Amino acid sequence: MSVLGVNLWAVLAAGVAAMIVGFLWYSPLLFAKPWMALMGYDPSDKAKTAELQKGAGKLYGISFVASLVTALVLGKVIHISTVNTALYGAKIGAALWLGFVATVQLTDGLFGKKPAKLYLINTGYQLVCYLTMGAILGMWPR
């Protein structure tokens, strides 16, 4: 099953993979504490944490849809380039990340006067997502 020459199962797998990367990246195992501090959240404020968690389901849902859109577009670029390996799919993912994601987030960080460490955490997450999605989409049969 495909749309625009892109295997929809690969898109779904890439979208799920991006969510898994996000759960790990922003977990206490990796960057939850510095990210929360840089965003101005106090992890010891239980009331505020509960309030944030209450609306998280909707945000995760929207984020998942955004991951699917990203995977579909990345899959189309990979399809057009006739890539058929995980390594080359990851390379295309890295190139698109560098050309579009890193630069847009850098501009946002500069004009929004956000800390460089926050840029590195958020943009690093996006890099890992693009590498992972590109690898999945690159190796999946069309």
Residue 71 has pLDDT above 90, yes or no: yes
Decide: helix, strand or coil at residue 111.
helix
120 and 106 Cβ atoms separated by less than 8 Å: no
Pick from 91, 99, 71, 84: which is nearest to 11 by CA? 71
Q: Which residues pair with 58 in a beta bridge?
A: none
pLDDT digits (tens, 9 = 90+) for 88-124: 999 999 999 999 999 999 999 999 999 999 999 999 9
**Domain limits at 105?**
2-139
Report pTM.
0.92
For the chain, the average pLDDT equals 94
56-80 vs 46-54: helix crossing angle, rounded to 10 = 50
pLDDT at 53: 79
Token code pair at residue 36: 């929360």
Alpha-carbon span 10 to 60, nearest angstrom = 20
Q: Looking at the 3D structure of the chain, how many domains does it have?
A: 1
Pick from 64, 60, 56, 58: which is nearest to 12 by CA? 64
